[in-house]
A and B are shown apart, each in its own frame.
Chain A
Amino acid sequence: MTVLLIFLGATVGAPLRYLTDQAVQSRHQSLFPWGTFTVNLFGCLVLGGLAGAGSAVPAPLFALLGTGFCGALTTYSTFGYETVRLTERRAYFAAAANVVVSLAAGVGGAAFAYQTVHALVG
């Protein structure tokens, strides 16, 4: 059952990442990978909130939304690949900014969502 829920969540998360990336990247000309940044930040907020809710979230729901959906919506491989590509194109500032902004926003977003939901539920 858990396996099926994770699979289902991931089959929604991955295409949503693709569509979001297409939509975001087609709306600006900058080198910064805003599409990947957007899905990663959104996924960190949702997963942080789910984790903050603790046992208030039933395990099957966490498998579907957390492990499945958020896990597949967010990506490290594209983040890493895009960062390396920026350095190959000698866009060092954009590469460094991608790393710093993605990590700060991702961890900050996860912590913010965790604390907020934890305070509301707890």
Chain B
Amino acid sequence: MPDQAASDEALPEKSRFAEVPPLVEPIDPDVDLRVPAQRSELVRHHGPVLGVIALGGGLGGLARYGLAEVLPTAPGGFPWATFLTNVAGCFLIGVLMVLVTETWQAHRLVRPFLGVGILGGFTTFSTYAVEIRGLLAPDTVPLAFGYLAGTLVAALLAVLLGHAVTRKAVSGVAAR
């Protein structure tokens, strides 16, 4: 990874996010998968996590389908359903992550269910990419790039907005 050194350098020694757990939590590194008894331990421990992710993903996928049925995209038109899905999902992940990492002692299945399951199943990158490909026709190239960039900018701003309003709401509650 050529950018790794540069990225690590860019990290401040003690950032204000130092207390936030790293993006990746190891999945039971002490479990030896070659030992059947330890395998069953992994299933017992991770079974509920995978279960709530599956259920949340199913529900999120249905919500995405419902929105697409309500807002069908005309051929060569702007895919509003996917746009709204992805931007709303990004806003909600911003809200959720502030709550579960900074303020709320949530049950260990809350984040897998709501974040990985529902919001992950609700938002989609594949439909977005395939829709952009479909708009890359001579007449609609500007729309393709507008959709590509518009979703990206709106989604990233939505994460930040979700962070900001939740931090503000939480500090308002704490100050009272």
B interface with A by C-beta (< 8 Å): 1, 3-4, 6-8, 10-12, 15, 17, 23-24, 26-27, 29, 49-50, 53-62, 64-65, 68, 85-86, 89-90, 92-94, 97, 112, 115-117, 119-130, 132-134, 136, 148, 151-152, 155-156, 158-160, 163
CA distance A84 to B136 in the complex (A): 28
Q: Which residue of B lies closest to A96 (CB)?
A: B3
For the complex, is A53 an interface residue (Cβ under 8 Å from B)? no
Minimum Cβ distance to chain B for residue A39 (Å): 8
Given A75-B124, A109-B129; A6-B23 close (CB under 8 Å): no
Complex interface residues of chain A between 36 and 88 (CB less than 8 A to chain B): 40, 43-44, 46-48, 51, 67-68, 70-85, 88
Q: List 9 A-B contacts (CB under 8 A).
A: A11-B54, A11-B57, A13-B57, A26-B26, A48-B130, A67-B64, A76-B123, A90-B12, A107-B132
CA distance A32 to B6 in the complex (A): 12
CA distance A50 to B70 in the complex (A): 23
Contacting A67 at CB < 8 Å: which of B1, B65, B94, B112?
Answer: B65
Which residues of chain B have C-beta atoms less than 8 A from A67's C-beta?
61, 64-65, 68, 127
